């Protein structure tokens, strides 16, 4: 089965207050970073790995010049016989028509915009440097540049967000007619400015956050976007093929600092250090453990609305018994012999999974 390639681009114009992903603002290191990324990609040549997805994540991948995006795609085509879905994450303010046109011609066929909100005060509190208008301009430019697969990120339970403001965001974004949405509940992580500044004071509480999530699910599904994963919705045929690899237990290889991999039955990752990554020539992955066990397959598969067949697990009988009360309560549903979370069940998925998992991993 073909693998997925994830390429981490750890550069941003500025760090958002909520962001816990590894990135930095020292653009003078981009040339050395690119050289090391190429070295790491080339190190896989002898393994004859075939890939059918490539995902540029970050950070802000759209800060890389289009010619560098093209060069990296060409190299992945050479080393991994790459054909298929090629996604690039982009921020609206760094997505001009000319840039989008160039990366589309280079082979990027899916674009994912970090939109987050259509409300100016919410964008300001998040530390986003784009305006609501810039989101619409970027989507329009992407379509004009030839993109037919466009995703928008939405953040839920952010400072000052209400059901009314979320309805305005959803209405504004739906009018842009993207093919995909990712809707994430804000989680304030330690060591972020949001945590240090106690921004939870301005955020919806747990009950309000749950209501906002269910509002999003209902609104998007009524508009024809099918929920296929806890945070992802798409028009038919436009699911993220790359991200589905994570939840379906397929192999993927992470390139770049802080990138994680699951390949050949093992999990490994690069430390979150650009300088260390470059000193090692991209050869500093650390082993994280085994990949693909039953407990892990259960956790990942239940993120999908497709759910799981209990009979596919050695502890299937026990799993059915443990699931029974959650089925009666409406947190789980059963269709065609498969058990899956309902939207309200997704909100409690971590605690329910702790019960469903076998006693010994």
DSSP character string of 327-353? HHHTSEEEETTEEEE-HHHHTTHHHHH
Over residues 313-323, the mean pLDDT reads 93
Contacts of the segment 241-246: beta carbons below 8 A, 24+ positions apart: 241/4, 241/52, 241/53, 241/84, 241/85, 242/4, 242/6, 242/53, 242/54, 242/55, 242/85, 242/87, 243/55, 244/304, 245/3, 245/4, 245/53, 246/300
Domain boundary among 190, 216, 246: 246
Are residues 277 and 271 in contact, defined by beta-carbon separation less than 8 angstroms? yes
Over residues 95-118, the mean pLDDT reads 97
Q: Give yes or no: residues 49 and 181 share one domain.
A: yes
Is residue 252 domain-resident?
no
Q: How far apart are CA 87 and CA 336, in angstroms?
A: 33
CB neighbour list of residue 334: distance below 8 Å, 6 or more residues apart: 327, 340
| Judgement on whether residues 240 and 301 belong to the same structural domain of the protein | no
Q: Provide the pLDDT confidence category of residue 4 given band limits of 50, 70 and 90.
A: very high
Q: If you average pLDDT over every residue of the chain, what do you get? A: 94
Is 195 in the same domain as 327?
A: no
At 21 the pLDDT is 83
Q: Is it the case that residue 209 has pLDDT exceeding 90?
A: yes
Residue 289 lies in a domain: no
Mean pLDDT for 167-194 is 95
Dist. CA 301–CA 319, nearest whole Å: 14
Question: 49 and 196: one domain?
Answer: yes
Q: In this structure, are 334 and 201 located in the same domain?
A: no
| 275: nearest Cα among 36, 14, 19, 15 | 36
pLDDT at 22: 84
Q: Report d(CA 240, CA 110) in Å as an integer.
A: 9
| Residue 72 within a domain | yes
Cα 11 off chain centre by: 17
Residue 265 domain-assigned (yes or no): no
Beta strands, E only, 248-302: 252-255, 260-263, 266-269, 286-290
pLDDT of res. 284: 84
Structurally, the chain folds into a number of domains equal to: 2
Q: What is the CATH number of the domain that holds 129?
A: 3.20.20.70
Range of the domain at 298: 294-356
The CA angle 326-330-336, to the nearest 5 degrees, is 85
Same domain, 341 and 223: no
- pLDDT (tens digit, 9 = 90+) per residue, 223-282? 999 999 999 999 999 999 999 999 999 999 999 999 999 999 999 999 999 999 999 999
The structure's pTM equals: 0.95
Percentage, residues of the chain above pLDDT 70: 99
For residues 222 and 90, membership in a common domain is answered with yes
The answer to whether residues 231 and 88 belong to one domain is: yes
End-to-end CA distance of the chain: 26
Q: Identify the domain boundary among 231, 246, 261.
A: 246
Helix residue ranges per DSSP H, 180-249: 193-196, 206-222, 241-248
Domain boundary among 207, 230, 246: 246
pLDDT for the residue 144: 98
With 90 as the cut, is the pLDDT of residue 62 above it?
Answer: yes
pLDDT bin (cut points 50, 70, 90) of residue 360 is low
Task: Assess if residue 256 is contained within a domain.
Answer: no
> Do 221 and 350 belong to one domain?
no
Residue 311 belongs to domain with CATH number: 1.10.10
Q: In the structure, what pLDDT confidence band is assigned to residue 24 with cuts at 50, 70 and 90?
A: confident
Of all residues in the chain, the percent with pLDDT exceeding 90 is 86
Residue 273 in any domain: the answer is no
Of residues 330, 227, 347, 218, the one with CA closest to residue 339: 330
Please enumerate in sequence order all residues whose Cβ is within 8 A of that of 74, keeping only pairs 6 or more positions apart, or say none: 107
Same domain, 45 and 179: yes
* Residue 231 sits in the same domain as residue 330: no
Q: Which residues contact 122 (CB under 8 A, 6 or more apart)?
A: 116, 158, 159, 160, 161, 165, 169
pLDDT of residue 163: 98
Q: Let me know if residue 146 belongs to a domain.
A: yes
Q: Are residues 217 and 311 in the same domain?
A: no
Give pLDDT, residue 311. 94
In a domain, 264, yes or no: no
């Amino acid at each position: 089965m073909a693998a997925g390639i994830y390429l981490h681009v750890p550069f941003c114009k500025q760090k958002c207050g909520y962001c816990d992903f590894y990135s930095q603002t020292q653009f003078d290191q981009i040339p050395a970073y690119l050289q090391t990324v190429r070295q790491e990609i080339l190190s896989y040549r002898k393994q004859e790995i075939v890939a059918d997805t490539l995902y540029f994540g970050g950070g802000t991948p759209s800060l890389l010049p289009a010619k560098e995006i093209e060069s990296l795609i060409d190299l992945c085509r050479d080393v991994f016989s790459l054909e298929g879905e090629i996604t690039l994450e982009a921020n609206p303010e760094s997505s001009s028509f000319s840039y989008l046109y160039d990366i589309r011609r280079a082979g990027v066929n899916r674009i994912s915009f970090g939109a987050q909100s259509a409300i100016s005060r919410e964008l300001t509190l998040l530390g986003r440097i784009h305006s609501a208008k810039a989101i619409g301009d970027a989507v329009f430019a992407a379509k004009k540049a030839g993109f037919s697969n466009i995703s928008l990120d939405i953040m839920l339970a952010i400072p000052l967000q209400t059901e009314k403001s979320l309805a305005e965001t959803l209405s504004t974004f739906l009018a842009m007619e993207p093919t995909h949405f990712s809707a994430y509940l804000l989680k304030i992580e330690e060591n972020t400015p949001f945590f240090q500044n106690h921004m939870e004071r301005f955020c919806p509480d747990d009950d309000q956050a749950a209501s906002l999530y269910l509002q999003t699910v209902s609104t998007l599904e009524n508009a024809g976007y099918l929920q296929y994963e806890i945070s992802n919705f798409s028009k038919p045929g436009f699911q993220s093929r790359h991200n589905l690899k994570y939840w379906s237990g397929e192999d993927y290889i992470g390139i770049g600092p802080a990138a994680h991999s699951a390949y050949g039955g093992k999990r490994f990752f690069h430390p979150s250090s650009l300088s260390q990554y470059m000193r090692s020539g991209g050869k500093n992955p650390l082993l994280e453990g085994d990949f693909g066990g039953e407990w892990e397959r259960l956790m990942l598969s239940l993120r999908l609305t497709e759910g799981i067949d209990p009979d596919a697990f050695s502890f299937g009988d026990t799993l059915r018994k443990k699931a029974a009360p959650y089925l009666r309560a409406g947190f789980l549903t059963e269709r065609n012999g498969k058990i899956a979370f309902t939207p309200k069940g997704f909100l409690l998925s971590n605690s329910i999974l702790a019960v469903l998992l076998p006693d010994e991993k």
